[in-house]
């Protein structure tokens, strides 16, 4: 009959019987004794209950976990830089695009351009979009009392 069962820190199980024949199962149970995670470096260390190194110290099993610990956004060129806990930074050049200037393409002098919206993006790209924006540049009445209207849209001026 079993009188007592005990478990040592190293995982050894000792079963005491009433007839004094003890059963010892050395280092039979293994469990995690300690876990340490360094959030700055991503170092993840696990120590078990009965592993020891050559000097008798607990053996640790170490790996490095990688996650993003900071994000930097450069508003001048739209570059995103992801800083990692372990390893090199990840850089996305021109990752975010936004209009840096919006104007009407009127050309060098008023009425010369195509009168479309001209968008300049933060990455240097430029684009004319939409239909010409048409507005009255000048109005006059001629000798025959006809109203003359000069529009900004080049197609209407032709």
The predicted pLDDT at position 2 comes to 84
Q: Which domain holds residue 8?
A: 2-64
Residues 40 and 60 in one domain: yes
Distance set, CA 76 to CA 83, 135, 148 (Å): 19, 34, 47
pTM above 0.75, yes or no: no
User: Binning pLDDT at 50, 70 and 90, where does residue 119 land?
Assistant: very high
Point out the domain boundary residue: 96, 115, 146: 96
Residues 38-61: tens digit of each pLDDT: 888 888 999 887 777 788 777 788
Same domain, 108 and 133: yes
Long-range contacts of 111-114, Cβ-Cβ distance < 8 Å, separation of 24 or more = 111/137, 111/150, 111/152, 111/154, 111/157, 114/154
Q: Domain total for the chain? A: 3
Q: State whether 19 and 43 are in the same domain.
A: yes
Helix (H, G, I), strand (E, B) or coil at 55: coil
Average pLDDT of the chain is 84
């Amino acid at each position: 009959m079993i009188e007592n069962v005990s478990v040592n820190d190293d995982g050894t199980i000792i079963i005491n019987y009433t007839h004094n024949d003890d059963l010892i199962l050395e280092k039979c149970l293994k469990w995690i004794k300690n876990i340490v995670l360094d959030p700055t470096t991503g170092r993840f260390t696990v120590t078990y209950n009965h592993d020891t190194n050559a000097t008798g110290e607990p053996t640790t099993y170490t790996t490095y976990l990688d996650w993003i610990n900071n994000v930097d956004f450069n508003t001048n060129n739209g570059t995103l830089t992801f800083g990692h806990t372990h390893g090199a930074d990840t850089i996305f050049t021109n990752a975010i695009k936004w209009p840096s200037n919006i104007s009407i393409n009127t050309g060098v002098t008023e009425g010369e351009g195509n009168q479309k919206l001209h968008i300049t993006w933060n990455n240097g790209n430029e684009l004319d979009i939409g239909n010409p924006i048409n507005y009255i540049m000048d109005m006059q009445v001629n000798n025959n009392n006809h109203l003359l209207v000069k529009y900004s849209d080049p197609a209407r001026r032709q």
